[in-house]
């Protein structure tokens, strides 16, 4: 018989494949609930008797609640641990998804989609924070690479899953998938040993929370790396939005043909993640790997801009740019996120929150700029916005993150050098 108070369940080891799967499931929940409903927008609109554009607003409602909830989950998880954020997030997601299945009006769908965003936000934030909680050095870098890879691969698979469920049981069945995923995650959490140090003495008043976020936003190492990551996210969303406009609107490709091109090019994110692992094994530092990715992204953006200025209608430079930027992002994002969160282990949840929000905001700005500036014929808006964000990312990395990291490393060496001089004298 087990002693009182001891669990009968053996916790999953952080270095195991099971723990990686746990991180992957947490990271997948937010984006899975976004992209999976895309094939069902028309069917949902018809069933509820509204316009398709009105259903599209349900995506915005989800994203807004997802981002707003992060601001709450971050400080709470730093105080009480990551496990409560994941468990309560899953419970809310299950209730909200069940509500989406039963809705009879657009207003009800909006309400439950907002609740879905609030629920999915907790596990998504926890995936990044747990990497900082449990891992150090190259192992942390590898785990962060895996989390970023999941976040970028899921959007490629989720619409296909949604289309299959739509064909089997209609649009309502699609909302059963987040319920199943959340139940699996809840079951997996019974094998999870809470790693975050609990600080129940912390205060969660507005002044204290504001102080935490002020500390995050005034840390130059965090800010430089988080803004670099966000700007590169802007470059990625420039090609996501611009490639769709160019291939479908300008060249007249079918959505299915464009989907094949987009999916194939997006697989290069996996190539970037694999390359990051290889470079890490060869001893290349986080900073140099990020710089390599920035150089690659900037180069392909310049090539695309040249092609756009010559009014080329060839899809070759566009696909080349999509592959190059996706590959670079797979190399940059894990390193930048790891470097951003690393200096603040005790508030990793809040730091993760700010980094995710920055990337989301910049992605929204990038998509809007590309769409507004699209001329109907070329990829000029896509190329210009992409190159602009690549240059901004390089500026944040070289002008803020690297000098701040050098200063922090120098500050750590000063006490050691002083002691050495004292002993010598």
Contact at 8 Å (CB) between 224 and 356? no
The number of folded domains in the chain is 2
Q: What is the pLDDT of residue 3?
A: 40
Which of 267, 238, 256, 205 lies closest to 393, judged by CA? 238
The verdict on 395 and 325 lying in the same domain is yes
Q: How far is CA 302 from CA 320, 324, 365, in A?
A: 12, 11, 21
Domain boundary among 193, 228, 263: 193
pLDDT of residue 68: 85
User: What is the per-residue pLDDT for 2?
Assistant: 39
Residue 388 pLDDT: 96
Confidence band, pLDDT 50/70/90 cuts, at residue 264: confident
* Residue pair 262/322 in contact by the 8 Å Cβ criterion: yes
Q: How confident is the model at residue 384 (pLDDT cuts 50, 70, 90)?
A: very high
Predicted confidence (pLDDT) per residue in 329-352, tens digit: 988 988 898 889 888 888 888 888
Q: How much is the pLDDT for 312?
A: 77
Full domain range(s) for residue 386: 214-410
| Rama region for 289: left / alpha / beta (φ>0; ψ in -120 to 50; rest) | alpha
B/e letters for 381-412, b = 16+ CB within 10 Å, e = fewer, are bbbbbbbbbbbbbbbbbbebbbebbeeeeeee
Domain match, 95 and 158 both: yes
- Which range of 27-41, 64-78, 376-390 scores highest in mean pLDDT? It is 376-390
- Burial 57-75, CB ≥16 within 10 A → b, else e: ebbebbbebbbebbbbbbb
Per-residue pLDDT band at 259 (split at 50, 70, 90): confident
250 and 138 in a single domain? The answer is no
The answer on 342 and 396 residing in a single domain is yes
In the predicted structure, residue 416 carries a pLDDT above the cut 60: no
Maximum mean pLDDT: which of 64-78, 205-219, 239-253, 290-304: 290-304
pTM greater than 0.85: no
Do 338 and 400 lie in one domain? The reply is yes
Reported as a single tens digit per residue, the pLDDT across 199-232 is: 544 556 677 778 888 999 999 999 999 999 999 9
Quick one: which of 272, 229, 238, 221 has its CA closest to 393? 229
- Residue 420 falls inside a structural domain: no
CA dihedral 28, 34, 36, 41 (to 10 degrees): 180
Which strand (E) or helix (H) includes residue 167?
helix 137-169
Q: In the chain, what is the straight-line distance between the N-terminal and C-terminal CA atoms, in Å?
A: 62
pLDDT of residue 1: 36
Instruction: Tell me phi and psi for residue 82, to 5 degrees.
Output: -80, -30
How many CB atoms are closer than 10 A to CB 49? 10
Residue 423 lies inside a defined structural domain of this protein: no
Same domain, yes or no, for 174 and 218? no
Residue 169 domain-assigned? yes
Q: Which residue has the higher pLDDT, 359 or 297?
A: 297
| Portion of the chain with pLDDT greater than 90, in percent | 27
Does 62 map to a domain? yes
Residue ending a domain, choose from 133, 164, 193: 193
Residue 234 located in a structural domain: yes
Residues 144 and 226 in one domain: no
Residue 26 within any structural domain of the chain: yes
Query: Is residue 348, in this structure, part of any structural domain at all?
Result: yes
CA distance 160 to 240: 17
Domain at 237, CATH number: 1.20.1250.20
**CB-based contact 233:326 (threshold 8 Å):** no
Q: Note the pLDDT of residue 414.
A: 54
- Has residue 237 been placed in a domain? yes
Average pLDDT of the residues in 167-178: 91
pLDDT single digits (tens) 4-58 = 444 445 677 777 788 888 888 998 888 877 778 877 877 888 899 887 667 767 7
Claim to verify: residue 131 and residue 240 sit in the same structural domain: no
389 shares a domain with 285: yes
Measured CA to CA, the distance from residue 296 to residue 272 in angstroms comes to 11
Is the model more confident about 416 or about 400? 400
Region 91-119: mean pLDDT is 94
| DSSP codes joined into one string, 310-356 | TT---SHHHHHHHHHHHHHHHHHHHHHHHHHHTT-GGGHHHHHHHHH
Could you count the other beta carbons within 10 Å of the beta carbon of residue 82?
Answer: 28
Question: Average per-residue pLDDT in the chain?
Answer: 83
341 with 293, same domain: the answer is yes
My answer on whether 298 and 159 are in the same domain is no
Encode pLDDT of 303-326 as tens digits. Answer: 999 999 988 778 889 989 988 998
Does residue 226 share a domain with residue 188? no
Give the domain-ending residue among 193, 222, 240.
Answer: 193
């Amino acid at each position: 018989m087990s002693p009182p108070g001891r669990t009968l369940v053996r916790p999953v080891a952080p270095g195991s494949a099971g723990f990686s799967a746990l991180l992957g499931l947490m990271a997948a929940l937010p984006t899975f609930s976004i992209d999976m409903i895309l094939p069902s927008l028309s069917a949902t609109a018809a069933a509820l008797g509204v316009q398709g554009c009105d259903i599209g607003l349900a995506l915005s409602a989800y994203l807004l609640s997802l981002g707003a909830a992060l601001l709450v989950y971050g400080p709470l998880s730093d105080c009480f641990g990551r496990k409560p954020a994941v468990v309560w997030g899953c419970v809310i997601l299950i209730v909200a998804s069940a509500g989406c299945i039963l809705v009879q009006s657009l207003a009800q769908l909006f309400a439950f989609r907002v609740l879905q965003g609030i629920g999915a936000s907790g596990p998504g934030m926890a995936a990044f924070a747990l990497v900082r909680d449990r891992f150090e050095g190259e192992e942390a870098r590898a785990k962060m690479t895996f989390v970023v890879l999941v976040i970028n691969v899921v959007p490629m698979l989720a619409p296909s899953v949604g289309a299959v469920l739509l064909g089997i049981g209609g649009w309502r069945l699609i909302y059963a998938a987040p319920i199943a995923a959340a139940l699996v995650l809840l079951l997996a959490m019974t094998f999870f040993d809470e790693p975050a140090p609990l600080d129940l003495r912390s205060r969660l008043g507005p002044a204290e929370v504001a102080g935490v976020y002020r500390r995050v936003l005034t840390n130059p190492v965090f800010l430089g790396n988080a803004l670099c990551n966000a700007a590169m996210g802007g470059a990625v969303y420039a090609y996501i939005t611009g490639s769709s406009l160019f291939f479908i609107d300008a060249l007249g490709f079918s959505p299915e043909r464009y989907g094949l091109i987009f999916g194939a090019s997006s697989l290069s994110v996996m190539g970037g993640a694999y390359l990051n692992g290889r470079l890490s094994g060869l001893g290349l530092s986080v900073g140099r790997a990020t710089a390599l990715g920035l150089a690659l992204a900037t180069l392909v953006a310049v090539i695309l801009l040249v092609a756009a200025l010559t009014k080329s209608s060839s899809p070759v430079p566009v696909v080349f740019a999509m592959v190059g930027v996706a590959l670079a992002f797979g190399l940059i994002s894990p390193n930048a996120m790891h470097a951003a969160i690393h200096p603040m282990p005790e508030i990793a949840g809040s730091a993760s929150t700010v980094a995710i929000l920055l990337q989301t905001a910049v992605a929204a700005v990038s998509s809007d700029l590309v769409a507004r500036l699209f001329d109907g014929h070329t990829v000029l808006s896509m190329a210009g916005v992409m190159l602009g964000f690549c240059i901004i990312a390089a500026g944040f990395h070289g002008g803020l993150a690297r000098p701040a990291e050098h200063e922090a490393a120098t500050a750590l060496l000063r006490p050691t050098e002083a002691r050495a001089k004292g002993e010598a004298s």
